[in-house]
Amino acid sequence: MIDRKKSPAIHDAVEFDLRLKPCEQFTLDNGVPVYAVNAGEQEVLMIELVFYAGNWYEQQNIVAATTNFLLKNGTTNKAALALNEHFEFHGAYLNRHCYNETATLTLHCLNKHLPKLLPAVAEILAESVFPAEELAIYKQNQKQRLEVNLKKCDFIANRLIDEYLFGIEHPYGKYTSTADYDALEREQLVEFYSQYYAKGKCMVFAAGKLPADIAQQLNAAFGHLPFNTQPMPVVEHITKPAAEKKYQVTNDTAGVQAAIRIAQPFPNRHHPDFIKVQVLNNIFGGFFGSRLMSNIREDKGYTYGIHSYLQNHIQQSAWMISTEAGRDVCAATVAEVYKEMERLREELIEKEELDLVRNYMMGSILGDLDGPFQIISRWKNYVLNNLTDAYFYNNLQTIRSITAEELQELARKYLVPEAFYELTVV
């Protein structure tokens, strides 16, 4: 019997023994690897097919993103309307996303409808036709959306800072123009689709309350398709960072707000400092109680929010500080960012603050493990970055054990103003 007069014991999140649920692995008849997490109480599941079909592999700008977007806009046997109505009739959601190295096609549905939906997904991956009229609508809509976005200072800042870090020809630094949309031709999409989807490198991630015959269903739908039948082309891109480090761009002479981006290139997850820097980043600007938020939002009132983060790229990353502030306080905002860098270089972090961040990070990880979709998302991140679950447990150990002295050394190594690109768009 619980004694309601006694409050339960309070435990710090760092004391929790967090465990990453293992994922089952098996292979389809055509060699496609499947990673599955069978968990959850609801009769729902997610099937995600990941292709190495990002803009890393395109020969012309936005071909990869356009191909991905138009995947479900018509096949040999179904027009776009009929195809979308099929998924909606079964209460399913089919989405697609294109990233730098990879692109995805993701199905969320009730598991009882899976036998009706997987063949339709397979049809998309084997028989998409990219109708010319669908491409024309897409181009028109995207150009109109781009025209609107180009008036926003934060949109311009996000484009330009990546160009400064990686170069306009690098996949991480590219951005689109209306001329890019005008140059798109249906034949380019068909060729890219054939090489990187219909015959491309594929892997499958499944999560939810999976049916007992999930392997048989996936194999029946996708095991006969010619995925992974040809070697992936070896594509290398060289970063060409901008020569200058400080930029101020005027995008709207009448605007009252400016976008600020301060960033430097950073190694990927395989670098020994990456996990440790995640702790330092959270103290600096990674959550609502960070130093940047406490100073620039709470104390100075220059902005509604300011954040720092490491970009989620595979080949390499970047350490980014991002905010929007009144144009009359831009210089003061940038100065305060550098002051916080200096504090971390010069002063040891107090135990109370470090303990707060430890518990915040452990609590965030605990939240990220709440449900099968979140678990498989973490596994997908590890698989695509050529990592194992050892990375997960190393991360936990680092959060628990890193010292203030180690964080100060990292700050002296990386939080150096001269290493950062600084951009203000007004």
**What CATH number does residue 348 fall under?**
3.30.830.10
- Position 405 scores a pLDDT of 98
Residue with the two structure tokens 């305060």 = 336
**List of E strands, 52-125:** 93-98, 103-110
Same-domain check for residues 187 and 48: yes
Question: Could you tell me if 133 and 171 lie in one domain?
Answer: yes
pLDDT at 279: 98
End-to-end CA distance of the chain: 63
Q: Are residues 83 and 208 in the same domain?
A: yes
Q: Are residues 201 and 133 in the same domain?
A: yes
pLDDT at 62: 97
List, in order, residues 6 or more apart from 111 with CB less than 8 Å away: 43, 44, 45, 208, 209, 210, 211
Residue recorded with tokens 């395989």: 270
164 to 91, 118, 172: CA distances (angstroms):
44, 43, 10
Beta strands (DSSP E) in 211-370 are 246-249, 257-266, 306-310, 317-326
Is residue 48 domain-resident?
A: yes
The residues facing 98 across adjacent strands are: 103
Counting beta carbons within 10 angstroms of the beta carbon of residue 269, is it exposed (0 to 12), middle (13 to 18) or buried (19 or more)?
buried
Q: Any bridge partners for residue 422, and if so which?
A: 246, 262
272 and 151 within one domain: no
If asked whether residues 178 and 286 sit together in one domain, one would say no
At 145, which amino acid appears? R
Same domain, 161 and 297: no
Same domain, 332 and 187: no
- Its domain, for residue 152, covers 24-222
Which pLDDT value is given to residue 156? Answer: 97
Strand partners, 323: 260, 306
pLDDT of residue 12: 77
CA proximity to 313, closest of 407, 174, 106: 174
How far is the CA of 234 from the CAs of 52, 190, 203, in angstroms?
Answer: 12, 21, 19
- Distance CA(45)–CA(72), nearest Å, equals 20
Which pLDDT score is estimated for 7?
80
422, two tokens: 């600084």
| Low-confidence residues of the chain: pLDDT under 70 | 1
Clarify whether residues 201 and 53 are in a common domain: yes
The answer to whether residue 55 sits within a structural domain is yes
Residue 131 structure tokens: 């109708």
**Amino acid residing at 238:** I
Of 298, 299, 296, 285, the closest CA to residue 329 belongs to: 296
Last residue in a domain, options 222, 237, 254:
222
| Same-domain status, 151 and 293 | no
69/138 Cα distance (integer angstroms): 9
| Domain assignment present for 71 | yes
**Please, are residues 336 and 302 in contact by the beta-carbon 8 Å criterion?**
yes
Tell me if 325 sits within 8 A of 258, measured CB to CB. Answer: yes
Q: Residue 51 is which amino acid?
A: F
Q: What is the number of domains present in the chain?
A: 2
Do 203 and 282 belong together in one domain?
no
How far is it, in rounded angstroms, from Cα 169 to Cα 126? 31
Q: Is residue 13 part of a domain?
A: no
Q: Residue 70's CB: how many other CB atoms inside 10 A?
A: 22
Predicted TM-score of the model (pTM): 0.93
Is 228 part of any domain?
Answer: no
Let me know if residue 241 belongs to a domain: no
193, 54: one domain: yes
Pair 291, 285: CB distance under 8 Å: yes
